[in-house]
Structure 1
Amino acid sequence: MPTITVNVDDALKERMEKHPEINWSEVTRQAIRDKIEKLELMDELTAESELTDADVDEIAAKINESARKRIEGESE
């Protein structure tokens, strides 16, 4: 099995060391596997899309603005 190295800051390493019962390599493998599966699903869903990157950016900006307004409305 190929090996990769993951760098974490000292504070995170100390927190991880408080839980020696956890197999951090397995946690990392699962996180990578989950991310890859989500990316592959996105690739599959958008494979035949005719949207440009600019279209996607515009849609994302509208979603973010709508979410921001909704959150601001809830906090009033």
Structure 2
Amino acid sequence: MEKFPEINWSEVARDSIKRKITQLNFLKGFNIDSDITPEDALKLGKEISEHLIKRYKSEQK
């Protein structure tokens, strides 16, 4: 932070906090009507990650 004194770090922090609150509110609302279990969500996330890894590896060849 000391390397960039021209940056208004309070504003950066404030914007970051606002963005995080917006994300959390979205997730809270999204989760209310969801039938998916936390275990299902983790499994789905792993499957998506594996798919993306394969896709990015194939694109790099």
- Structure 1 alignment gaps of length 5 or more: 1-15
Q: Looking at secondary structure, tell me which structure has more helix per residue.
A: 2
Q: Which runs of 4+ in 1 moved over 3 A?
A: none
| Distance across 2 between alignment mates of 1:21 and 1:44 | 38
| CA RMSD, Structure 1 to Structure 2 (Å) | 0.9
Instruction: Output the TM-score relative to the length of structure 1.
Output: 0.74
Deviation at 1:70, TM superposition (A): 0.2
Which of 29, 46, 56 matches 1:61? 46
Deviations 1:2-55 (A, max 9, x none): xxxxxxxxxxxxxx2122121101101110110110111111112110111100
Identity over aligned pairs, percent: 39
The 5-angstrom pairing of residues 1-76 of structure 1 reads 16-76=1-61
Q: Which runs of 5+ in 2 are unaligned?
A: none
Taking the aligned partners of 1:50 and 1:21, their CA distance within structure 2 comes to 48
Tell me the distance in 1 between the aligned counterparts of 2:32 and 2:20: 18
Larger relative CO (CA 8 A, sep 6+): 1 or 2?
2
Larger radius of gyration: 1
How many residue pairs end up in the alignment?
A: 61
Q: Supply the distance in 2 between the matched residues of 1:21 and 1:30 (Cα, whole angstroms).
A: 17
